[in-house]
Structure 1
Amino acid sequence: MAKNFFFLGIILAAAGFLSPPLALGAGLAYGLLIPHAYHLDARRLSKFLLQASVVLLGFGMNLGTVIRVGRSGFVYTAAGISLALALGWLLGRLLHVEKTQSFLISAGTAVCGGSAIAALGPVTAATDGQMAVSMGTVYILNSAALFLFPAIGSALHLSQTQFGLWSALAIHDTSSVVGAAAKYGATALEVGTTVKLARALWIVPLTVGIAFAGKRAGQQRGKIHLPWFILYFVAAAVANSYLPLQHVPWAAGLYPSLARLGRLGLAVTLFLVGTGITRQTIREVGARPMLQGVLLWVAAAGISLWAILRGIIHL
């Protein structure tokens, strides 16, 4: 019976019957109420689907917009990452969170959630337990963000551009940024996805820097995993912008169809992410790492929202 509910959720999300927020809600209900028969498989599949869905969403993007938004958001992203890492280090010290654990939570908040943790885990020599706790913290907060951010944005009457920028700067994972922005509007989705992917690129220098520092210190480091899917997203945007197919009879609707497939893939991704939040995951996270993650996330979200409302951050 548990397996049937799992596959039913995937089918409903893939068929478009579940919007991204509903898909996440269904996944959370499954993870918290039903024993998960495919926990590890779901985690691996969700990572692949997220990357594939982001690439497909690129077929609905204009390259000029991608470059403009990415360039405008670069300085804000760099400043936000630096502030989040510094504040995360301070909170970790104050709450007595283990050093590697604290860094992974801070990096996940600052850069790109689970992707950053997955990339930095091997080069920081993190244990499986530290990785699990960091991932659990980020996934729980991501789930909350997908519901909270659109409600806050509507209450404050944020424009779609403002909301897309805020989501990209304040929500951990790309999946939740895209899900929240898609619920808010098409412009919010375009802005949020582009700025978020520009933010995710910071995984590369951060990971290489940590690996180099560890090598200089004589510590054994693992393999570096880089977010190559971002380059495929840009390639898809290039194709959509400069290789139009509307005059090719057999391929006129190809790009819109691929972009829609990406949105459906995102809904499946969010269902799978939701199923990974189990009662055991919540217990394993523990009080202090979770408190660090919550405080750091609230601070990052609050500061970026204040700066956007004041016009300090804008596109």
Structure 2
Amino acid sequence: MILVFCLTPWASPPLALALGLWLAQTLGNPFPAFTKQYTAKLLQFSVIGLGFGMNAHAAVEAGREGILFTVCSIFGTLLLGYVVGRWLKLGRHVTHLISCGTAICGGSAIAAVGPVLRARDEEMSVALATVFVLNAIALFAFPPIGHALSLTQQQFGLWCAIAIHDTSSVVGAAAAYGKEALEVATTVKLARALWIIPVALSTAMVFKQQDVKVKLPWFILGFIGAMLLNTYVPATHIVGPWLVQAARLGLTVTLFFIGAGLSLKAIRSVGPKPFALGVLLWVVVSTASLYVIIHV
């Protein structure tokens, strides 16, 4: 019944996440295998669908404005994560996974970098649980903060793309703020996600790993293709709004699945030190990027 409600117009991404969290803490996730297997795919197809509602010219402009923030924040986060991880005496793999998840795009970055590191399942689980908990907090906290500070749509979209880990929560928070914020946030976040490739390759070199394969985030190419079709092929305007609506429903269901997978057991498995690293990195990135966005 809850899943069906998430498909109705009354369900929003934050509400869907909250319902998923409630389900996880009370009855438990009734379909753990399904959510683990299909959540990422549903998110990826939803992102592609959102491309049918965006204009390529506006996206290029948004991406151009966000590129300097992207480069500085990614390398600054990775460096800070290394320093704080050593101070906390965390393992190198967990430190690097959480740092990559914070710097680039949450679970997608961790999933891409983990095999390159040949990280153990426990290390992957700790890193994923850390960023997913912080994602949930950000999805609820960012829109009220944006309104309290009177951020413009452009400013809020850029802040979301830089300071929130996962694409799902970025899109959910930006959609709650407004249409322009959603366009800016999605474009900048997906441009940021392309850094998975050079970061994963650099990881293989730094950690001296050989014979590893780096997966191309193909859904970003799908998003770009959908956006180009919407911009240059007028015929797509007939089905475009329907595809965008389907994508937003898919995103809402995705966040419900993510919330349903965040049980107390999963949260407790993180441990204090990895969670401390994740929180510290997130707070620094959030506050520093917000200050720059407002004052520069």
1:291 to 276, 279, 296: 276
Q: Does 1:235 align with 2:235?
A: no
One-letter code aligned to 1:117: I
Question: Which residue of structure 2 aligns with residue 57 of structure 1?
Answer: 50
Contiguous gaps of at least 5 residues in structure 1 = 1-7, 246-250
Distance 1:221 1:15 in 2: 47
Distance 1:14 1:108 in 2: 29
Question: Which residue of structure 1 aligns with residue 174 of structure 2?
Answer: 181
Q: Does 1:141 align with 2:134?
A: yes
Distance 1:84 1:256 in 2: 37
1:164-194, Cα deviation, whole Å (9 max, x unpaired): 0000010000000000000000000000000
One-letter code aligned to 2:245: R
2:116 to 92, 112, 123: 123
Question: Which residue of structure 2 aligns with residue 88 of structure 1?
Answer: 81
Q: TM-score, normalised by structure 2?
A: 0.97
Q: Does 1:159 align with 2:125?
A: no
Shift of 1:75: 1.5
Contact 2:204 2:210 in 1 (8 A): no
Distance 1:213 1:92 in 2: 16
2:64 to 67, 71, 94: 71
Distance 1:221 1:121 in 2: 14
SS of 1:285's equivalent? coil
Task: Indicate the structure (1 or 2) with the bigger Cα radius of gyration.
Answer: 1
Shift of 1:253: 2.9
Alignment length (residue pairs): 296
Contact 1:108 1:116 in 2 (8 A): yes
Distance 1:10 1:224 in 2: 34
Distance 2:240 2:294 in 1: 35
Contact 1:31 1:278 in 2 (8 A): yes
Change (3 A) 1:62 1:54: same
SS of 1:29's equivalent? helix
Distance 1:221 1:295 in 2: 34
Q: Does 1:105 align with 2:98?
A: yes
One-letter code aligned to 2:223: F
Q: How well do the aligned residues superpose, as a CA RMSD in angstroms?
A: 1.3
Shift of 1:17: 3.0
Distance 1:20 1:71 in 2: 28
How many percent identity over aligned positions?
A: 49
1:115-151, Cα deviation, whole Å (9 max, x unpaired): 0000000000100000000000000000000000001
Q: Does 1:35 align with 2:25?
A: no
Q: TM-score, normalised by structure 1?
A: 0.91
Question: Which residue of structure 2 aligns with residue 270 of structure 1?
Answer: 255
Greater shift, 157-166 or 34-43, is seen at 34-43
SS of 2:125's equivalent? helix
Question: Which residue of structure 1 aligns with residue 245 of structure 2?
Answer: 260
Shift of 1:82: 0.7
